[in-house]
Copies of this chain bind each other. A is one copy, B any other.
Amino acid sequence: MTMHADLIINMDTILTMDKDLRQLDDHQIVVKDGRIIDLCPQEEKRWTASKTLDGTDCIAIPGLINTHSHLPMSYFRGLADDLPLDIWLREYIWPMEAKTLNSSVIHDAALHGAAEMLKNGITMTHDMYFEMPAIADACTKAGLRALIGEAIISARLAEGQKPGDQLRILRQEYRDNPLVDFNLSPHSIYACLRSDLETSVEVAQELDLLLHIHLSETKEEVQTCLNKRGMRPVQYLKELGMLEIPLLIAHGIWMDESEMDLLVGTRASIASCTDSNLKLASGIAPLKGWTDKGINFAIATDGVASNNDLDILAELGNTARLHKAINEDPSFLPAAEALKHVTINAARALGVEESRGSLEIGKDADICILDHNSLCCQPLYNPYSHIVYAMNGRNVRDVVVGGKIVVQGGKLTQVDEAELIAKAKHYGKRILKELSQ
């Protein structure tokens, strides 16, 4: 007897990324009501469905999860390169934001970024920016899941505004939207007053939210904290109560061992952004230290203005290669282990490991299908190896989010790519004009 589902994906290879790292060959992923309801051998022919995807010469992996991004920065890509973080932020990015952004530009730029992420196999991102509704609507339109942080920069808070004010309203407004959710993102310890950080912790505790913050991105930031607070950044977080709640630290490059020890046993994870950290010359994060101490971390893209792409698979390969050399150990971050940091470990970092991050029955049908029928992927001996070391975003063929096919044959199904490109060109000209004035 066959049963009926919404979608069947027949795969040559499925890398489940479950706790046993099971690889399933010639199986099918069966989807109903947005969830995976079966993973079974194709030959059993248990299911029928209204839609079928053929995954010949393809590998299915869990949809990639990007734990740190700034979607609305899409239009700033390549506008200011080869500069240090401090100058880049204060002399370029922040003035550009003030001069050129409004909620309509933010919506369009976020839609551009969301579409670009999907084409790179990302099915969920964790964004930190302003104008949350614009970002939420853009992600919904593209079909990308997003956890969107209310960015707090104390100097930009309106008179009487408190961290969490927007968040409370938006969580109500979007409560029926399965793709988006909101949390709180105090920008950093240098851009937030102590009182705003304390309020953020209170709000996170009250609403049971993940708190997200940039931390230890540069040596200077650590030195400033030492000078001003007499303690290192993670110690400061501890004093603020942040280590008692679910916490996601972006970067954490200059964390020392004593700080890592403070994180052990807490609910803190780290979003490490290799390409951005290298490009801004911020440094190289201590992935080996985190691994040795069992601190959970994910590999993320950061915003395109400092990356300059959203190709998280390329970033994964770069990270795996880099940390072998840095640690003088070619066996560090082997391919299968590396892949966890953009799938199950990334889901854990966002507190969604019960429903995403691996391909298992009962989880959301968030799936990335990679095509290996190309010169750069043949012969294929070990699918993990090719995914990490030979593939990048160009190998993404189909992407499914919550059971909906949002990328098919490399093409976006929910938005018009040509229109997005035309818009980007238009805004690019406007940004240049406004900057030259």
* Pairwise interchain contact B382-A81, C-beta atoms closer than 8 A: yes
Which B residues are CB-close (under 8 A) to A385? Answer: 78, 81, 308
Q: Which residues of B contact A381 (CB under 8 A)?
A: 78-79, 428, 432
Interface pair B325/A278, CB less than 8 Å apart: yes
A184 smallest CB distance to B (angstroms): 29
A380 proximity list for chain B (CB < 8 A): 78, 425, 428
Residue A279 interfacial (CB < 8 Å): yes
Q: Known A81-B385, A82-B334, A281-B327; judge A310-B379 contact (CB<8 A).
A: no
A325 to B251 alpha-carbon distance, docked (Å): 14
The reply to whether the CB of A168 lies closer than 8 angstroms to some CB of chain B is: no
Give the residues from 324 to 375 in chain A that come closer than 8 angstroms, CB to CB, to chain B. 324-325, 327-332, 334-335, 373-375
Q: Is the CB of A277 within 8 A of B334?
A: no
Chain B residues within an 8 Å CB radius of A390: 77-78, 304, 308-309
In the complex, A322 Cα to B283 Cα: how many Å?
9
Interface residues on A, range: 35 or more
Q: Which of A77, A330, A420 has the most CB of B within 10 A?
A: A330
Could you say which of A2-10, A59-67, A111-119, A199-207 contacts chain B?
A: A111-119
- Inter-chain contact B325/A281, CB cutoff 8 Å: yes
A interface residue numbers (CB < 8 A to B): 75, 77-79, 81-85, 88, 112, 115-116, 119, 275, 277-284, 304, 307-311, 314, 318, 320-322, 324-325, 327-332, 334-335, 373-376, 378-382, 385-386, 389-390, 392-394, 417, 420-421, 424-425, 427-429, 431-432
